[in-house]
Amino acid sequence: MTGGLRPRSRPPRVAYASSGRSPAEWRGDRLIVCILAALVVRSIPTEQTLARGSDVTTSDEQSTIPGDLIAMLDLLAETIVQALGFGVAVVNLTRPDGSLEVVSVAGDEDARRVLLGTTDTVQSWQQMLLASEDWGRLRFQDHAHALASPELLSWVPDLEMVDAEDAWHPEDALFAPLVGEDGALLGVLSVDLPSGGRRPDLATRNALEAFAVSVALAIEHATMRQQAELSEQAMLRQATHDSLTGLANRALLEDRLRNALACQDPGTMTALVFIDIDGFKSINDLHSHAAGDQVLRSVADRITGSIRPHDTAARWGGDEFLVLLERLPDETAAVEVAQRIMGSMVDPVKADDHLIKVTASMGVSFGAPDDGIDAEELMRRADSAMYDVKHTGRNGYATFRTAGQPTSHRLHLLDLLSRALREERLVVHYQPLVRVSDQIMVGVEALLRLRDDDGTLVLPNDFLPLARDGGTLIAIEHQVFRLACSQVAQWVEDGHDLRLSVNVCAQQLLEIEDFEAVVLSALADSGLTADRLICEITEHDLVDINEPMVAGISRLVHSGVRMSIDDFGTGFGSFTYVHTLPIQELKIDRSFVAGASETSGAILRSIAGLAGDLGMNCVAEGVETTEQHQLVREAGVAAAQGSLYSSPLDPETLTAMLETEKLTLAGAGCRRDVAGE
């Protein structure tokens, strides 16, 4: 038989099981049950989901069958089996490509397992229906007229036949074409193995026709409702999203920004990143508007790939984009997003058979629950910071703390930087690194701060860009190595088994010989052994790697210093660096942890597996919730850091904690690794 009723391989032997009731005994209640079933199906709420109950996407991904329709069809098929006494009932639905797919099978689990999801061509069905006998709304194929091809015969089960004139032959088939009001074939209802092994009587056939009408109505209703919902969704998306890039549009961004500011949680921040593509008019003029559109789409994709799932990326207009970041722990988290977006722009965009280099200027502004800043002011500040970058060279970012403030504020920061070394204004805080399996502290990461005249601490995102432009960055970074090595050496001398991670900037790597000398000098002066030091190289800083740099890194590794790739997975050369450089650790970027989703888990498992196969350590950063902790643990990540365990601490506070046998840090209860534990 065709039409998906019997599989293309010979099924197990199935006996004609009699329910103990004669066909005459079925007649009294069959039609009543059938009509009730149809009424039940029509009354099922469209939101209800039964049986398999979730939307099912067909194998060609052209359409989605609503879950409530599948539930209705399952119920109808099962009622046909139970009420009319058939051994198997199968519903085939017409797909957009014209083929028919089996979407519901009732009565026999083997048939369900084999047939569900299989497809057949519309030509096969037309051939079968044309060769069948007209039984009103039904089509009966008598075995005497069956197509006796070897393939067809292989579908016929090996069954015992009843010795009667109206016996059901293994090659018999009964179909109910499901036809819509417009005459279109919506699908086919197939039944087999009637009760008692006899052809169904007139009452049963009438009942089956009633079922076929109910099935057709259910399909038409679901199809119309789905089309209406898709149309409504399309209209809503058109009203709230940019047609070129697919990002949120200005109206949606403004709405979400106002809601975000109105619903901020205490201790969190909202940030806005204003992005403007540098020299976009020249791209249109030198290439074409089509190339410009491709650049806009590519930039939109890169922005989306740099943010968390619940953040909002929007096209503001022309070549301008806005990113709304909600529920941030601090300003640093927003700046890290800006850095990731900048890193995503490294690869050129391919358009019109050309590789177009794209850069962007970005401004970042911040809003806290108690500062009274509204949406318009937050946008004005981000715009102001962005234009400051435009006026000072483009291809960078600035926060409103530095760019949007009066020039005197920046002059003040430059003055602080000029006095930072001689007045010992550089302060290093330390964020604990914990072993994921038991949350025992195994190390710290050194994080720089700058002490202002009033004693407040300035975050590195506010002053390091100025230090870079002013030529003092390398001296500052070198001092961080000296201070951090000295402090951790003291903790180790006091009996605490810790390792130290220090960030390395691109300028240090470009002057690799000087950097080697500083590292080895800091280790020698402090007494910290080289195997306790980990130099974290941000993946984006490796873009301009060269042979002298590789040689210098290799010499440091040979001396015992360990190398780590920070923000691993966010740049374009991840695997090249792992293959080329002597790396001992991969530090997974926080963006892969933030989602706490199945996709995040898969990425974490992949990176952890890669690290394990290469004999490297694996660390996750940005763990802020217990769900994220569980995610990295299940992924096999060895160590982690983040606000769940502890925020960065000054040396005095961390020393006091280390002297306590058990540390209760933020959220997770980080513990010190002590003898006897």
For the ranges 299-308, 332-341, 372-381, 587-596, the lowest mean pLDDT is seen at: 587-596
Contact (CB, 8 A) for 493 and 527: yes
CA neighbor of 295 nearest in space, from 359, 232, 214, 235: 359
- Pull the structure tokens for residue 611: 């690290």
Does residue 100 carry a pLDDT above 50? Answer: yes
Q: Give the chain's largest Cα–Cα span.
A: 110
Q: What is the pLDDT of residue 384?
A: 87
Higher pLDDT, 412 or 30: 412
Q: Which CATH architecture has domain 23-233?
A: 2-Layer Sandwich (3.30)
Amino acid at 99: S
Check: CB of residue 3 under 8 Å from CB of residue 128: yes
Out of 3-7, 65-69, 522-526, least confident range:
3-7
Q: What digits encode the pLDDT tens for the residues 632-655? A: 999 999 999 999 999 999 999 999
DSSP-derived pairing of the beta strands 269-277 and 396-399: unpaired
Measured between alpha carbons, how far is 366 from 328 in angstroms, rounded to an integer? 10
CA 119 to chain centre: 31
User: What does each C-alpha distance from 402 to 269, 397, 425, 463 come to in angstroms?
Assistant: 18, 10, 19, 8
Amino acid at 321: F
How many Cα atoms are found within 13 Å in the side-chain-facing hemisphere of 314? 24
pLDDT top residue among 563 and 400: 563
User: Hey, how many other C-beta atoms are within 10 angstroms of the C-beta on 232?
Assistant: 10
* Pairwise pLDDT comparison (9 vs 515), residue with the higher score: 515
Summarised one tens digit per residue, pLDDT across range 125-140 is: 888 888 888 888 898 8
Give the whole-angstrom CA distance, residue 480 versus residue 196.
Answer: 88
pLDDT of residue 520: 95
Q: Does residue 339 register a pLDDT over 70?
A: yes
User: What single letter denotes the amino acid at residue 361?
Assistant: S
- How confident is the model over 488-512, as a mean pLDDT? 90
Encoded tokens for 308: 């968390």
Least confident of 238-247, 371-380, 561-570, 591-600: 591-600
Return the structure tokens found at 259: 């809601």
Superfamily of domain 250-405: Reverse transcriptase/Diguanylate cyclase domain (3.30.70.270)
Q: Which residues make Cβ contacts (< 8 Å) with residue 247, sequence separation at least 6?
A: 241, 300, 303, 304, 313, 314, 315, 321
The backbone region for 584, taken as left when phi is positive above 0, alpha when psi lies in -120 to 50, beta otherwise, is alpha
Whether residue 447 contacts residue 440, with contact meaning beta carbons closer than 8 Å, is answered with no
Per-residue pLDDT tens for 274-321? 999 988 887 887 788 889 999 999 999 999 999 999 999 999 989 999
- Residue range(s) occupied by CATH 3.30.450.40 in the chain: 23-233
> Which tokens is 19 given?
């329910």
Residue 652, both tokens: 């005095």
The whole-number pLDDT of residue 162 equals 56
Radius of gyration in angstroms for the set of CA atoms belonging to the chain, rounded to a whole number: 35
pLDDT at 159: 52
Question: Residue 278 is inside which H or E element, if any?
Answer: none
Burial 68-93 (b: 16+ CB within 10 A, else e): bbbbbbbbbbbbbbebbbbbbbbbbb
Q: What is the pLDDT of residues 198-249, one digit of tens each?
A: 888 888 888 888 888 878 887 887 777 777 776 676 777 778 899 899 999 9
Least confident of 387-396, 531-540, 618-627: 387-396
Q: Write down the pLDDT at residue 144.
A: 58
pLDDT at 105: 92
- Which residues fall within 8 angstroms of residue 486, CB to CB, at 6 or more apart? 522, 525, 526, 528
Residue 27's DSSP bridge partners are none
Q: What angle do CA 164, 167, 172 make, to 5 degrees?
A: 155
Which of 73-87, 98-112, 247-261 is predicted most confidently?
A: 247-261
Condensed to tens digits (0 to 9), the pLDDT of residues 112-170 reads 888 888 888 888 888 888 888 888 889 888 765 554 444 434 444 555 555 667 788 77
User: Which of 598, 596, 594, 574 has the alpha carbon at shortest distance from 586?
Assistant: 574
CATH 3.20.20.450 residue spans of the chain: 426-447+478-672
Q: For 188-198, what is each residue's pLDDT tens digit?
A: 998 888 888 88
Angle at which helix 202-240 crosses helix 67-84, to 10 degrees, equals 170
Residue 120 corresponds to which tokens in the numbers above? 């057949």
Closest CA to 386 of 419, 412, 411, 364: 364
Full-model pTM:
0.46
Is 556:563 a contact under the CB 8 Å cutoff?
Answer: yes
> DSSP state, 167?
B
Q: Of 7-16, 269-278, 444-453, which gets the smallest average pLDDT?
A: 7-16
Checking if the pLDDT of 172 tops 50, the result is yes
Three-state helix/strand/coil letters over 42-84? HHCCCCCCCCCCCCEECCCCCCEECHHHHHHHHHHHHHHHHHH
375-396 pLDDT, tens per residue?
A: 999 999 999 888 888 877 688 8
Per DSSP (E only), the strands in 252-330 are: 269-277, 312-317, 320-328
On whether the CB atoms of residues 300 and 321 are closer than 8 A, the answer is yes
**Residue 408: per-residue pLDDT:** 53
Class for domain 426-447+478-672, per CATH? Answer: alpha beta
Q: How much is the pLDDT for 52?
A: 41
The mean pLDDT of 72-92, rounded to a whole number, is 88
Please tell me the distance from the alpha carbon of residue 108 to that of residue 105, in angstroms, as a whole number: 8
User: What SS3 state is found at 134?
Assistant: strand
* Percent of the chain at pLDDT exceeding 90: 34
Q: Are 313 and 248 in contact (CB under 8 A)?
A: yes
What digits encode the pLDDT tens for the residues 406-441? 445 666 787 888 888 888 999 999 999 999 998 899
pLDDT confidence tier of residue 601, bands split at 50, 70 and 90? confident
Q: pLDDT category, 571, cuts 50, 70, 90?
A: low
- CATH 3.30.70.270 domain residues, the chain: 250-405
φ/ψ (deg, to 5) at 116 = -60, 125
For the record, the structure tokens of 578 come out as 């792992």
Most confident range (mean pLDDT) of 64-68, 190-194, 276-280, 490-494 is: 490-494
SS (H, E, C) 499-540: EEEEEECHHHHHCHHHHHHHHHHHHHHHCCCHHHEEEEEEHH
The conformation of residue 169, written as its DSSP 8-state character, comes to P
Provide the percentage of residues in the chain whose pLDDT is more than 70: 79
